[in-house]
Amino acid sequence: MAAVELTVFHFILLFWSLRTAESQVMALPGCESYCGVIRIPYPFGMTEGCFLEERFKIHCNSSSGGDPTITVNGTDLAVSSISVYDSTIYVMFPIVLTNCGVKDRNTVVDLEGSPFVFSSENYLVASGCDNLALINQNNSAIGGCVSICDENRDPWISGCSGIDCCQTRIPSNLKVFNVTMKGVDGRNGRRGEKQCRHAFLAARSWIDYGVYYSFAGDNPYGMKDVDSIPAVLNWGIDKWVLDSLVSKGAYYNSTHTST
């Protein structure tokens, strides 16, 4: 049953992308198109009547200089971009950390029952000495990576290939991000079990650019002054809703205007 639901979900993403590729992406008539500099296209929206349903509501904090946010199953995620063309929404994803001089943080982000799924373009990234980071589902590990130590490593060599930082692509169709961290095979690493460890979800595009600044130089083990990292979610809408929109002509139309 789950496999069928995921197949339908992917079909909807494809259908939506093909249909909107030739359309001008905008908000509904009479609805604001932007929150600050972030474009908010339908089915997302900021006020009643401007979004398809409550799960696509964007909270705009532009007056205070804050980023727009979307609430998914009680978790607020800052939004950095939305694309209708490829059915993605980029959000700022909280970093999981322990023993880093601040309160431990292990935010579980659950997308079950929402129109979102974690994109396979995301990677699990972990840092720390002898840090085994595992993605868990139903009390079982379904993915992970190991970051090991090297006392003699040149701190200015960038990248994330297993020494002080590791990365791995997340499993397909992941709906819950729940990560645990521990030492490798009982080893505590050069700083002991109380050493600082990080793990987070990150978009491939951020990894290609961002890890140099986060894991090189004099801060090779952690995310100094960083609370969240760009990650990407895929989104779709229920097939019956899509069919209804198409049949009523209540879809994107090049004649639409927006404020």
User: Same domain for 32 and 82?
Assistant: yes
Q: What is the pTM of this model?
A: 0.78
User: Same domain for 107 and 63?
Assistant: no
Q: Which amino acid is at 133?
A: A
User: Same domain for 69 and 104?
Assistant: no
User: Same domain for 111 and 55?
Assistant: no
**pLDDT confidence of residue 190:** 53
Q: What is the mean pLDDT of residues 228-244?
A: 79
103 or 158, which is more confident: 103
User: Same domain for 39 and 156?
Assistant: no
User: Same domain for 165 and 197?
Assistant: yes
Residues 166 and 225: their CA atoms lie apart, in Å, by 20
Report the C-alpha dihedral over residues 21, 7, 2, 71, rounded to 10 degrees.
Answer: 0
User: Same domain for 43 and 158?
Assistant: no
- Asked if pLDDT for residue 22 goes beyond 60, the answer is no
**pLDDT confidence of residue 160:** 78
Where does the pLDDT of residue 65 fall: very low under 50, low under 70, confident under 90, or very high at 90 and above? low
User: Same domain for 109 and 211?
Assistant: yes
Q: Is residue 139 part of a domain?
A: yes
User: Do the Cβ atoms of 196 and 128 come closer than 8 Å?
Assistant: yes
Q: Is residue 257 part of a domain?
A: no
Strand, coil or helix: 201: strand
CATH code, domain with 135: 2.60.120
Span of 12-16, 64-68, 79-83, 100-104 with lowest mean pLDDT: 12-16
- Whole-Å CA distances, 113 to 93, 192, 244: 19, 40, 21
User: Same domain for 224 and 127?
Assistant: yes
Q: Is residue 36 part of a domain?
A: yes
User: Same domain for 84 and 105?
Assistant: no
CA atoms within 13 A on the CB side of 230: 17
Peptide bond into 68 cis (omega under 30): no
Give tens-digit pLDDT for 88-103. Answer: 999 999 999 888 777 8
Q: Is residue 111 part of a domain?
A: yes
Q: For the chain, what is the domain count?
A: 2
Q: Is residue 259 part of a domain?
A: no
Peptide bond into 43 cis (omega under 30): yes
Range of the domain at 111: 92-228
Where does the pLDDT of residue 153 fall: very low under 50, low under 70, confident under 90, or very high at 90 and above? low
Q: Is residue 15 part of a domain?
A: yes
What are the φ and ψ backbone dihedral angles of 196, each rounded to 5 degrees?
-75, 130
User: Same domain for 176 and 148?
Assistant: yes
Q: Is residue 22 part of a domain?
A: yes
Q: Is residue 256 part of a domain?
A: no
Angle at 154 between CA 150 and CA 155, to 5 degrees: 95
User: Same domain for 129 and 148?
Assistant: yes
